[in-house]
C-alpha cells in the first residue's frame, strides 16, 4: 500500500521528466514582461502582514499545530520595509467575515485520505469568522470549476446572505476563482475580496509537458471521491493558457485582491517535490516545487508576504495524518496553517474597514450571528 501511495503522491506533483527546455519556443503568447511588482500595480503590504502574523504566532504559541517562529515562517525578499508598530486587534471579528476556500488540483481525490474531519474554520470561528470549503472537481478545468463556485455561493443559507464573503484560493483554486468572478456578475455581488495562496495565477511551466492522464491515478487514492471531470485540469494550468486568459479578462476593480507567495528556502522543499523543484530551477530557483514565485501574484493585488513553505506545506497537511510519509517523502510539510488563516483574515478585515470597497455597506448590514 505504501509503495502505491508513493506513486500516487508523485503523480500529484506536476512532474514531467524531460531533457527538453521546460518552456519551449513559441509565438502563441501575448506580449509579456517581467517587472517589479509595483510596476504591475501591486501594493506591498508585507510590513503590516508580518506584524499581524507575528502577533498571532506569538499569541497562539503551542496552542495551534506546527508552530514556527515568525522569522522562520516568512521569507524576506529584498528591502522589506519595517512595520509602523500599530497594535494588532486579536479580539472578535468586527465584520463577521466569511471565507470560502477553493483548493487545487486533485483535492477531492486526497481529502478522504488526509482524514480532514475537522471543520476548516474551526480555529477562526472562535474569533467570529466563518470558514467553509467550496468543493470543485479535482481534475476539471477552470470554466467547469468556476460554475461550481458560482453554484455554491448562490446556495449559501439565508443567514449568511449578509456576511461579507472572501474567496480564498490555493494553487489552481485561485485560477478557478478568478474565472468565476469574471464570468458571473452574481458572484461579484456577494464577494468583497479574493485571497490567493501559492496561486497558479500565471500557470506552471511543469504543466507544459505533463499529460492529464498522469493525474488519473489519483482516482485510486484510498477514500478518493474524485471523478475524471472534464479532463481539463492540466491544460488550464499551462502558462500560455493562463497568460492569454489574464490578457483578455481584466479583473473587476470593485473587489480587493491579496496574494500570498510560497517562496521556501531550498532546505524547506519536501523530498517528493525535489525533482519538480529542480526542473523549475532551470528557469528560476525561486519556486515552491510546483510554481515560480512571480507566477503567483494576482495583477493589481496587495502582496501580503512570502511564505517559507513549499507548495504542499501551505495547504496540504499530509504529515499530520500520515506520519511515515510525513517523515520520508513529504518531510517538510509542517506549517502553522491555522495561524496563517487567522492572520490573513485579520489583515483583510483591517484593510477593508479602513479602506472599504464600493460595496462597504455590506459590513453595515451584517448584524452578527452564526
Per-residue model confidence as pLDDT tens digits over 232-271: 999 999 999 999 999 999 999 999 999 999 999 999 999 9
**Are 98 and 127 contacting, i.e. CB atoms less than 8 angstroms apart?**
no
The residue behind cell 503551542 is 62
Distance CA 156, CA 5 (A): 36
Domain 2-14+42-81+89-357 class, CATH top level: alpha beta
330: phi then psi, degrees, rounded to nearest 5:
-105, 65
Q: Give residue 321's pLDDT.
A: 86
Which of the residue ranges 60-64, 87-91, 96-100, 328-332 would you say has the lowest mean pLDDT? Answer: 60-64
Distance CA 205, CA 12 (A): 15
Q: From residue 162, how far is each of 49, 156, 189, 226 by CA, in Å?
A: 27, 10, 11, 32
Residue-range domain boundaries for the chain: 2-14+42-81+89-357
pLDDT above 60 (res 361) = no
Q: Give residue 224's pLDDT.
A: 85
Distance CA 283, CA 72 (A): 25
pLDDT band with cut points at 50, 70 and 90 for residue 66: very high
How does pLDDT run across 302-340, given as a tens digit for each residue?
Answer: 999 999 999 999 999 899 889 899 899 999 999 999 999
Neighbours of 223 (CB within 10 A): 11
Task: Please give the model's pTM, rounded to 2 decimal places.
Answer: 0.92
Q: Give residue 4's pLDDT.
A: 42
How does pLDDT run across 142-192, given as a tens digit for each residue?
Answer: 999 999 999 999 999 988 888 999 999 999 999 999 999 999 999 999 999
Distance CA 51, CA 346 (A): 11
Q: Give residue 365's pLDDT.
A: 45
The residue behind cell 467553509 is 132
How does pLDDT run across 263-297, given as a tens digit for each residue?
Answer: 999 999 999 999 999 999 999 999 999 999 999 99
How does pLDDT run across 340-357, given as a tens digit for each residue?
Answer: 999 999 999 999 998 776
Amino acid at each position: 500500500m505504501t509503495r502505491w501511495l508513493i506513486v500516487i503522491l508523485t503523480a500529484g506533483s506536476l512532474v514531467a521528466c524531460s531533457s527538453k527546455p521546460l518552456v519551449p519556443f513559441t509565438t502563441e503568447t501575448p506580449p509579456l514582461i517581467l517587472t517589479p511588482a509595483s510596476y504591475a500595480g501591486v501594493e506591498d503590504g508585507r510590513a503590516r502582514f508580518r506584524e499581524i502574523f507575528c502577533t498571532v504566532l506569538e499569541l497562539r504559541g503551542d496552542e495551534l499545530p506546527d508552530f514556527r517562529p515568525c522569522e522562520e515562517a516568512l521569507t524576506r525578499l529584498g528591502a522589506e520595509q519595517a512595520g509602523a508598530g500599530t497594535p494588532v486587534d486579536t479580539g472578535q471579528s468586527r465584520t463577521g467575515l466569511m471565507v470560502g476556500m477553493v483548493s487545487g488540483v486533485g483535492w477531492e481525490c486526497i481529502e478522504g485520505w488526509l482524514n480532514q474531519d475537522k471543520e476548516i474554520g474551526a480555529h477562526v470561528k472562535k474569533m467570529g469568522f466563518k470558514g467553509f470549503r467550496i468543493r470543485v472537481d479535482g481534475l476539471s478545468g477552470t470554466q467547469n470549476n468556476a460554475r461550481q463556485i458560482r453554484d455554491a455561493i448562490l446556495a449559501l443559507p439565508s443567514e449568511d446572505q449578509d456576511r461579507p464573503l472572501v474567496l480564498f484560493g490555493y494553487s489552481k483554486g485561485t485560477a478557478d476563482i478568478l474565472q468565476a468572478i469574471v464570468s458571473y456578475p452574481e458572484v461579484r455581488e456577494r464577494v468583497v475580496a479574493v485571497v490567493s495562496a501559492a496561486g497558479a495565477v500565471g500557470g506552471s511551466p511543469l504543466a507544459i509537458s505533463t499529460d492529464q492522464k498522469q493525474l488519473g491515478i489519483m482516482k485510486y487514492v484510498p477514500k478518493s471521491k474524485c471523478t475524471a471531470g472534464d479532463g481539463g485540469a492540466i491544460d488550464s494550468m499551462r502558462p500560455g493558457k493562463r497568460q492569454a486568459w489574464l490578457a483578455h479578462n481584466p479583473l473587476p476593480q470593485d473587489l480587493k485582491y491579496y496574494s500570498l507567495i510560497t517562496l521556501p528556502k531550498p532546505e524547506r522543499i519536501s523530498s517528493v517535490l525535489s525533482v519538480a523543484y529542480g526542473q523549475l530551477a532551470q528557469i528560476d530557483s525561486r519556486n515552491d516545487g510546483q510554481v515560480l514565485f512571480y507566477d503567483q501574484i494576482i495583477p493589481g493585488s496587495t502582496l501580503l508576504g512570502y511564505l517559507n513553505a513549499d507548495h504542499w506545506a501551505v495547504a496540504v497537511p499530509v504529515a499530520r495524518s500520515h506520519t511515515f510519509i510525513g517523515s520520508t517523502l513529504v518531510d517538510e510539510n509542517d506549517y502553522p496553517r491555522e495561524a496563517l488563516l487567522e492572520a490573513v483574515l485579520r489583515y483583510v478585515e483591517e484593510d477593508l474597514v479602513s479602506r472599504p470597497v464600493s460595496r462597504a455597506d455590506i459590513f453595515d448590514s451584517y448584524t452578527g450571528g452564526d
